């Protein structure tokens, strides 16, 4: 007989404790007030997103824009399991990666606006579908909107772990609001060199902001805990996309993870880069990584002493 996520005994997502104490509702109110002079990502645009999106890189106002939500079977096995990861793909993004594979969402805002009740209903629908988690994809610019929906969903019976699947350019203000809310943090660590981050993702100080964010995420949730059925329940999972020509600074990123986060950090060295969107306008991005570059990434992880690589990591 097929298993379901309900079979996992005694798991309780972190946000239920905050719901019981009343703090989850308080976090939602505080996050909403941050929208009036927005600091909920590390761009600190200070736009009043309740009034206008002019000047906001994320182009998102008081309501989140959602493109799709479904059980996803292409994520890491510890998220996908046998029933899928319950992904919610948000439109827009606080990064501007020239090689984005989901550029219709991140650059063009595909999807439609939803209010907190509808977003909560989407979370509950993913739970009814048997998904192992609610996987928030590109959520950095919709922290307030997620926190508005979560108490509604939790009161409606949501009991799945919350996965924060982020590009890694997250502000300490946002992460403070998410402390005790998120069960699994899944940040990208895209670059070691801030100049390359500026050139290819149009963002300043990425490396410093990203490293501070990952430190805080690990402080909150620790190393990734995977249950007896192979399903992630709580902790940090880091993704690092191997870019051609050393653009992503793989050696330096992996050393940082091993030495300053934990050698037991669960890391996915992603090998699926392919030129997309505007990548062909920039010669270093106009090809896939070579087999030697991908092998070099795995060797860098070995040299750094990282002990938990995702089985699908760069081969």
**Which CATH number does the domain housing residue 139 bear?**
3.20.20.70
Radius of gyration of the chain (CA): 19
The pLDDT assigned to 1 comes to 33
CA–CA distance, 151 with 28 (Å, rounded to integer): 8
Give the alpha-carbon dihedral of 203, 65, 121, 11, to 10 degrees: -10
Q: Which of 31, 13, 52, 21 is nearest to 148 (CA)?
A: 31
Residues forming beta bridges with residue 232, ordered by sequence position: 226
Evaluate whether residue 2 is within a structural domain: no
For 182-197, what is the HEC assignment? CCEEEEECCCCCHHHH
The pair of structure tokens assigned to 100 is 């984005």
Evaluate whether residue 232 is within a structural domain: yes
Evaluate whether residue 5 is within a structural domain: no
How many domains is the chain built from? Answer: 1
CA–CA distance, 149 with 151 (Å, rounded to integer): 6
The pLDDT assigned to 166 comes to 98
Evaluate whether residue 3 is within a structural domain: no
The pLDDT assigned to 156 comes to 98
Evaluate whether residue 6 is within a structural domain: no
Evaluate whether residue 315 is within a structural domain: no
Question: E-assigned strands of the chain?
Answer: 64-72, 85-90, 112-114, 134-137, 162-166, 184-187, 225-226, 232-241, 266-270, 308-309
Evaluate whether residue 87 is within a structural domain: yes
Evaluate whether residue 4 is within a structural domain: no
Low-confidence ranges of the chain (pLDDT < 50): 1-8
Q: Is the whole-model pTM more than 0.85?
A: yes
For 82-113, the pLDDT digits (tens) are 999 999 999 999 999 999 999 999 999 999 99
Please return the burial class of 281, using the count of CB atoms within 10 Å of its CB with bins 0-12, 13-18 and 19+: exposed
The pLDDT assigned to 9 comes to 53
CA–CA distance, 310 with 232 (Å, rounded to integer): 12
- CA 208 to chain CA centroid, Å, is 17
The pLDDT assigned to 11 comes to 87
The pLDDT assigned to 19 comes to 98
CA–CA distance, 315 with 295 (Å, rounded to integer): 6
What mean pLDDT is reported for the chain? 95
Residues forming beta bridges with residue 236, ordered by sequence position: 185, 223
- In which domain, by residue range, is 175 found? 11-309
Long-range contacts formed by 7-11: CB under 8 A, 24+ apart: 7/229, 8/227, 8/229, 8/231, 8/233, 11/159, 11/161, 11/227, 11/233
């Amino acid at each position: 007989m097929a298993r379901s996520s309900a079979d996992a005994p005694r798991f309780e997502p972190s946000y239920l404790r905050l719901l019981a104490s009343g703090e989850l509702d308080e976090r939602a109110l505080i996050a909403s007030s941050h929208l009036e002079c927005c600091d909920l990502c590390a761009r600190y645009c200070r736009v009043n997103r309740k009034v206008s999106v002019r000047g906001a890189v994320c182009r998102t106002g008081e309501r989140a824009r959602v493109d799709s939500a479904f059980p996803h079977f292409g994520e890491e096995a510890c998220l996908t399991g046998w029933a899928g990861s319950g992904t919610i793909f948000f439109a827009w993004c606080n990064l501007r990666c020239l090689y984005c594979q989901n550029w219709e969402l991140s650059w063009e805002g595909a999807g439609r606006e939803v209010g907190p009740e509808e977003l909560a209903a989407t979370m509950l629908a993913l739970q009814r579908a048997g998904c192992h988690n609610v996987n928030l994809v590109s959520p950095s610019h919709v922290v307030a909107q997620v926190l508005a929906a979560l108490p509604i969903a939790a009161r409606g019976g949501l009991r799945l772990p919350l996965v924060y699947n982020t590009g890694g350019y997250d502000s300490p203000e946002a992460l403070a609001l998410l402390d005790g809310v998120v069960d699994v943090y899944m940040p990208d660590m895209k670059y070691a060199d801030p100049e390359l981050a500026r050139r290819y993702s149009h963002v300043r100080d990425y490396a410093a902001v990203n490293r501070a964010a990952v430190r805080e995420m690990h402080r909150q949730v620790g190393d990734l805990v995977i249950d007896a059925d192979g399903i992630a329940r709580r902790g940090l999972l880091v993704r690092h996309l191997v870019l051609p020509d050393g653009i992503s600074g793989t050696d330096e990123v992996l050393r940082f993870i091993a030495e300053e986060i934990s050698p037991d950090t669960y890391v996915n060295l992603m090998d699926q880069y392919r030129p997309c969107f505007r990548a062909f306008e920039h010669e270093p991005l106009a090809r896939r990584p070579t087999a030697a570059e991908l092998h070099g990434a795995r060797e860098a992880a070995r040299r750094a002493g990282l002990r938990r690589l995702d089985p699908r990591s760069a081969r």
